[in-house]
């Protein structure tokens, strides 16, 4: 599709298109958390409605046929909810808390994995998502420049909490922060996200959506905007993800080429010879990674250790049900169970939820990895899944699903593609 102008051709495409290009308006209203859930619910309703209305006369290409990966993710996310229910009962948290955890946290978080991957079954052209992503990235490029100037001249910041906070997600998802965040004399932007690392995650995801844009002009603007978001976030994980994911995807999709295998054969003995030097470089990079923000590294390490110990000691099977109300002084009050998706799952939901999500990621990697050799959408979906996995090691990706849901739709479209 080489045309420079792309327009939505049906209602789902229109909703996705206008949602993405008006993201900043939704952010100013503090409505993203609620709007993403409503959009995902409607798109899933469209899938179910189309499936219900199918007849024997429906052309095969128009039928809804859920892929095995759709069922895997449905099962995985329902296991997380089931674990949450048992965890609430085990810890006597009450039905009110269970209702709040399900409606205000699970559904707009993990639930979006089901809703938007199912939406990939609809007639939604990936090009619509790619172009809208490029437009949002271009907007972000302009906003980033404006906020950088605002930081240089020390303009006052405007921060307010939207009334939409009553629909859950915590104050952070309904707090609108205009301008910039000053973190130990370092300017870090959040743009339309709740915190800087979240902007780094979104920037890395939108980078891959922009890379898939057919139009050269919009692809260039999209890439520039996505990279600007990554650097503006000053997130260490975002900086690591930016080069690592392209290298991983390139190596994976070329590993069966004869020239790649020949080069690998020649380089392997050399790599063995310089292995001690490589280890030293990796060790040095790891130290620099932690020393870039030593305070944050200490807090994250403490959170990981406490989450693991309290899970093993108190709630191995079903977890604690909820986050700790407030963390100890060593974490600066940050609740235990945050800043790590996998340890957070263990702490809140227990071993079965952890295993369910691990299976979902593993099987998705296999499926999209095999299709990435021949299918562009699966390749983009694999890159997005890799970005999510890397960020899951330093943040709770479920609470941020309302930001990266376009990537979930592309993943769902990749699930739908056939093996060749």
pLDDT tens digits for 303-314? 999 999 999 998
In a domain, 103, yes or no: yes
Mean pLDDT within 149-177: 81
* Domain count across the chain: 1
Q: Considering the domain boundaries, does residue 296 fall inside one?
A: no
Number of Cβ within a 10 Å radius of residue 48 = 11
Does residue 33 lie in a domain region?
Answer: yes
In a domain, 295, yes or no: no
Confidence band for 172, pLDDT divided at 50, 70 and 90 = confident
Residue 258 pLDDT:
81
Is there a domain that residue 28 lies in? Answer: yes
Q: State the pLDDT at residue 1.
A: 43
How long a stretch of residues is the chain?
A: 420
Whether residue 91 is contained in a domain is answered as yes
pLDDT tens digits along 111-128: 999 999 999 999 999 999
Which of residues 307 and 187 earns the better pLDDT score? 307
Residues 205-225: tens digit of each pLDDT: 999 999 999 999 999 999 999
SS3 333: coil
Instruction: Write out the two tokens for 297.
Output: 């590294």
Is residue 1 in some structural domain?
A: no
What confidence tens digit (pLDDT) does each residue in 228-279 have?
Answer: 999 999 999 999 999 999 999 998 988 888 877 788 777 777 767 777 776 7
The residue behind tokens 């406490």 is 306
Q: What are phi and psi of 156, to 5 degrees?
A: -65, 145
Dist. CA 189–CA 200, nearest whole Å: 10
Say what the pLDDT of residue 184 is: 62
- Which domain range does residue 68 map to? 11-53+63-252+375-416
> Is position 349 within any domain?
no
pTM of the model: 0.93
Q: Report the distance separating Cα 119 and Cα 378, nearest Å.
A: 15
């Amino acid at each position: 599709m080489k045309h420079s102008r792309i327009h939505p051709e049906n209602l789902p495409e229109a909703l996705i298109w206008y949602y993405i290009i008006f993201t900043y308006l939704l952010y100013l209203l503090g409505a993203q958390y609620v709007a993403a859930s409503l959009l995902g619910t409607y798109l899933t309703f469209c899938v179910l409605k189309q499936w219900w209305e199918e007849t024997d006369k429906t052309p095969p290409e128009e039928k809804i046929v859920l892929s095995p990966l759709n069922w895997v993710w449905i099962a995985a996310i329902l296991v997380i909810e089931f674990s949450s229910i048992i965890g609430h009962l085990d810890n006597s948290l009450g039905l009110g808390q269970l209702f709040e955890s399900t409606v205000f946290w699970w559904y707009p978080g993990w639930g979006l994995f089901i809703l938007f991957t199912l939406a990939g079954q609809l007639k939604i052209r990936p090009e619509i998502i790619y172009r809208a992503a490029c437009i949002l990235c271009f907007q972000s490029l302009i906003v980033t420049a404006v906020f950088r100037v605002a930081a240089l001249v020390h303009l006052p910041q405007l921060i307010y909490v939207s009334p939409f906070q009553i629909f859950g997600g915590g104050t952070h998802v309904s707090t609108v922060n205009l301008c910039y965040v000053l973190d130990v004399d370092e300017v870090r932007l959040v743009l339309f996200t709740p915190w800087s690392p979240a902007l780094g995650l979104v920037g890395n995801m939108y980078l891959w959506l922009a890379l898939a844009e057919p139009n050269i002009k919009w692809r260039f603007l999209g890439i520039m905007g996505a990279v600007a978001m990554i650097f503006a976030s000053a997130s260490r994980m975002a900086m690591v993800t930016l080069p690592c994911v392209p290298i991983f995807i390139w190596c994976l999709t070329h590993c069966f080429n004869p020239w790649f295998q020949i080069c690998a054969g020649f380089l392997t003995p050399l790599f063995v010879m310089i292995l001690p030097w490589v280890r030293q470089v990796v060790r040095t990079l790891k130290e620099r990674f932690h020393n870039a923000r030593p305070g944050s590294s200490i807090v994250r390490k403490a959170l990981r250790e406490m989450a693991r110990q309290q899970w093993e000691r108190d709630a191995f099977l079903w977890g604690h049900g909820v986050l700790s109300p407030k963390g100890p002084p060593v974490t600066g009050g940050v609740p235990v169970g945050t800043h790590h998706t996998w340890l957070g799952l263990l702490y809140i939901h227990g071993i079965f939820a952890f295993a369910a999500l691990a299976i979902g990621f593993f099987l998705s990697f296999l499926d999209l990895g095999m299709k990435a050799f021949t299918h562009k959408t699966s390749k983009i979906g694999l890159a997005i899944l890799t970005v999510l996995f890397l960020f899951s090691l330093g943040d709770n990706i479920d609470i941020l699903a309302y930001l990266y849901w376009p990537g979930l739709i592309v993943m769902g479209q990749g699930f739908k593609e056939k093996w060749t």
